[in-house]
Amino acid sequence: MDINSSPFTMSLPVGLLGVLLLYYALRPRAQLLLLIVVSLVFYAWLDGWFVLLAVAIAAGTFVTGLFIGASDEAGRRRWLIAGVLFNVGVLVIFKYLGLLVASGDWLLRLLRTESTLPLLQWGPRLAISFMVFNALSYLFDLWSRRSEPIRDSVTFVLFICYFPHLVAGPILRTKDLLPQLGRPRVVTGDMVISGLLLMGFGLYKKLVLADQMLPHVERVFEHADVMSWSALLRGAWLFALQLYADFSGYTDIARGCSRLLGIELPENFRWPLLATSVRDFWRRWHITLSTWWRDYLYIPLGGSRRGGWITCRNVMITMTIAGLWHGAEWTFVLWGALHGLLLVVGRLWRSWRPAAETKELRGAAWAGAVLGTFVLLTPTWVLFRARSFGVAADYLRGLCTLRGGLSAFAVSDLALVVAFGGLVLLTDWLKRPDELAASHTSSKWRIYGRGILMGMLAVHFILTREDREAAFIYARF
């Protein structure tokens, strides 16, 4: 069943209410068992295969962790390699095997050899990348002795299978969740209110903003070979906004739901639409993923410790693999490589102009940097959304050649982007006090003004919500 299908979304509030009432009545240990059952039922409802994969990943990683903790240095290395190969193997089989077979088939045809490779039709299992990365972070933390082996199987299974975050993140580390599972969880009134508001804002961003942008984006990308450059620009920029509203909306729902359970998930977005450079963008976008790649790949490769060109190489390797993580398509690999190239160019610029790194941007300079970064990232969004290199080539060709001429520019295209962008930023501004479950100490006019604007968003939700089923974009990663 699709996570955004009508039966699922209609059943979710009732099911969540029932789980919460039972959860609050149970002792801490029983709460963990309840959450495991709810997580497995949740996955079974959405994707029956995922339950088996979840149990296999949890069991395999749990046992491997115990052996790492009980072994000498050589044994620790062997068990780490075994655990990594197991988890990566699961990821390759259930996410990338179709891509590998299709690529092999294409290569055989290119060499004028009759292909006998069977083309696989299955797609990746629901959000398997997030679960595997949770498991790998645990193994890497054991190896580096940043954490100790977890000997409680109940706590560990919940760490791997915890349902609110696994569909689309955030990616959790050992330090993010395990300490909270090992102690009694307290839920205050402020946590309930802020959790419900976070979920409400997330639903608004997903069901209203992202889903309303979807048909505009689909129309442009499906006819990229004939659209004017103005329409193509609108489609790429609306997709950037749609992806952010969709992805951050799910994160808000996951964080709000967890807060109702007395569990705090890490922040995953920090105003990425206001990034002033590509490097700044990755400090604000999908923070738990970018820090995961930094700590477990970029730094082990040498980071920035071995000179400029080695650093550039490490950036390119990290971002290219990060692109592949996003999807089993070569367009994602090129997307990651392009981001790596932009980061390398930015690094070379800062090494040539050191003052650019420390200069604080204000006013028009800041606005220009934000707009410039948003425009600079346009080709990357095209690669992310395009279903093939052919579609991406048609799209970028139309943009670069200004298809239709300057007369094709339509103010309505820009107005639509500005309108949706303004609503996305307004929603993020309104939910700022709910990022932390603390008492609100703002002045009365701010509280009243925020309440009025929230009421206007609620009316907008009611008036514009359509019966359209669109899955969370990052759920397929």
Q: Which of 216-225, 248-257, 355-364 has the lowest mean pLDDT?
A: 355-364
pLDDT of residue 440: 47
In the annotation, is 440 catalytic? no
pLDDT of residue 354: 67
Q: Which has the closest alpha carbon to 466: 235, 207, 162?
A: 207
Q: Which has the closest alpha carbon to 475: 85, 131, 17?
A: 131
pLDDT of residue 129: 85
Predicted confidence band at 140 (pLDDT cuts at 50, 70, 90)? very high
User: Is 395 in a helix, a strand, or coil?
Assistant: helix
pLDDT of residue 475: 55
Residue 323 tokens, joined: 């692109």
Residue 334 tokens, joined: 């090129």
According to DSSP H, which parts of 144-277 are helical?
153-161, 163-166, 174-181, 189-203, 211-222, 229-260
CB 5 within 8 A of CB 473: no
Model confidence pLDDT, tens digit, residues 49-75: 778 888 899 999 999 999 998 888 888
Whether 34 has a pLDDT exceeding 60, the answer reads: yes
Kindly report each contact of residues 213-216 with a partner whose C-beta sits within 8 Å and lies 24 or more positions away, as own/partner.
213/238, 213/239, 213/241, 213/242, 213/245, 213/420, 214/242, 214/468, 214/470, 216/416
Catalytic pick among 326, 339, 440, 460: 326
Q: String of b and e for 452-465 (b: at least 16 CB within 10 Å)? A: eebeebeeeeeeee
pLDDT of residue 463: 61
- State the Cα–Cα distance between residues 377 and 275, nearest whole angstrom: 11
Q: What are phi and psi of 44, to 5 degrees?
A: -65, -35
DSSP 341: H
Q: Which of 53-67, 153-167, 219-233, 441-455 has the lowest mean pLDDT?
A: 441-455
Q: Which has more pLDDT, 249 or 128?
A: 249
Q: Which of 120-134, 155-169, 256-270 has the lowest mean pLDDT?
A: 120-134
Burial tier of 73 (Cβ tally within 10 Å: 0-12, 13-18, 19+): exposed
pLDDT of residue 399: 93
Q: Which of 198-207, 235-244, 393-402, 468-477 has the lowest mean pLDDT?
A: 468-477
pLDDT of residue 20: 86
CB 83 within 8 A of CB 68: yes
Q: Which has the closest alpha carbon to 274: 287, 264, 284, 262?
A: 284
**What angle is formed at CA 470 by the lines to CA 177 and CA 390, rounded to 5 degrees?**
105
Cis before 170 (ω within 30): yes
Residue 230 tokens, joined: 């103005």
Q: What are phi and psi of 115, to 5 degrees?
A: -80, 135
- State the Cα–Cα distance between residues 461 and 197, nearest whole angstrom: 14
Place of tokens 């009134």: 189
pLDDT of residue 27: 92
Q: Which has the closest alpha carbon to 308: 274, 271, 273, 351?
A: 351
- Report the Cα 282 to chain-centroid distance in Å: 12
Q: Which of 4-18, 34-48, 176-190, 372-386 has the lowest mean pLDDT?
A: 4-18
CB 19 within 8 A of CB 33: no
pLDDT over 90, % of the chain: 45
Report CA-CA distances (Å) from 462 to 454, 457, 466.
13, 9, 9
DSSP 360: P
Give the gyration radius of the chain's Cα atoms.
23
Model confidence pLDDT, tens digit, residues 293-309: 999 999 999 888 877 78
Whether 361 has a pLDDT exceeding 90, the answer reads: no
CB 250 within 8 A of CB 202: yes
Whether 139 has a pLDDT exceeding 70, the answer reads: yes
Whether 79 has a pLDDT exceeding 80, the answer reads: yes
Residue 204 tokens, joined: 């608004």
CB 261 within 8 A of CB 180: no
Q: Which has the closest alpha carbon to 267: 100, 431, 405, 47?
A: 431
Report CA-CA distances (Å) from 27 to 34, 136, 277, 346, 377.
10, 30, 48, 52, 49
pLDDT of residue 52: 84
Predicted confidence band at 445 (pLDDT cuts at 50, 70, 90)? very low
Place of tokens 């089993």: 328
Model confidence pLDDT, tens digit, residues 252-294: 999 999 999 999 999 899 999 999 999 999 999 999 999 999 9
Predicted confidence band at 439 (pLDDT cuts at 50, 70, 90)? very low
Predicted confidence band at 157 (pLDDT cuts at 50, 70, 90)? very high
Q: String of b and e for 195-231 (b: at least 16 CB within 10 Å)? A: bebbbbbbbbbbbbbbbbbbebbeebbeebeebbbbb
Whether 442 has a pLDDT exceeding 70, the answer reads: no
How confident is the prediction for the chain on average, in pLDDT? 84
Predicted confidence band at 327 (pLDDT cuts at 50, 70, 90)? confident
- State the Cα–Cα distance between residues 384 and 221, nearest whole angstrom: 11
